[in-house]
Amino acid sequence: MWLLPCCLALSCLAHASGGFPEPGGVFPELANAGNDAFILQNGSHNSALLEQTGTFNYAYAEQVGLDQALELRQFGEGNLAQVLQDGEAQLAFLIQDGSYNSIFLSQTGYGNTASIGQYGSYHTANVTQNGNHNLVEISQFGTGMSVSVIQYGDNNVGRIIQSN
């Protein structure tokens, strides 16, 4: 698990394969092979916390602007998460617990929040928030659920729970 604050008006870049470097740039040995993560932060006061347990999980996050926050946890095998936060004060809380789940999230504007949990296998969530103060909450349980949410404008709310 790692936390990357970016507290100055500069770019922070982290890339890890199987773990995050210890102080001095040394990658720790992990029992979980094949996980890959890439985080790009450009702006001020952005933070990302990423935890991957299992094998062959992939995470890509890009935060541009001010006060963006991302918490991403992936447990299992073959999970994929791609996140873009552009603007100010975007929040994203994402968890994938299972195998071969995918999340694609794009947040642009001010104060948008996304909370996405996928539990099981072969789930997909595609979310676009473009505007201000939009909220989406998604929970998917079982196998093979798919959801797409597009929110344009301000103060929209979407809540979706799916299971089988």
Q: Is the dihedral of CA 26, 29, 30, 32 positive or negative?
A: positive
Average pLDDT for residues 45-70, to the nearest whole number? 95
Q: Residue 106: its pLDDT value, please?
A: 98
φ and ψ at 24, to 5 degrees? 95, 0
Q: For residue 150, what are its two tokens?
A: 């597009």
pLDDT band at 128 (very low <50, low <70, confident <90, very high): very high
For residue 160, which of 145, 138, 128, 134 has the smallest C-alpha distance?
138
Say what percent of the chain tops pLDDT 90.
79
Secondary structure of residue 24 in the 3-state scheme:
coil
Q: Tell me what the pLDDT averaged over the chain comes to.
A: 86
pLDDT > 80? residue 79:
yes
The residue to which tokens 């995470």 are assigned:
59
Average pLDDT for residues 105-122, to the nearest whole number? 98
- The model's pTM is 0.82
Q: List pLDDT tens digits, range 1-23.
A: 444 443 333 334 444 444 444 44
Q: Residue 93: its pLDDT value, please?
A: 98
Q: Residue 12: its pLDDT value, please?
A: 40
pLDDT > 50? residue 55:
yes
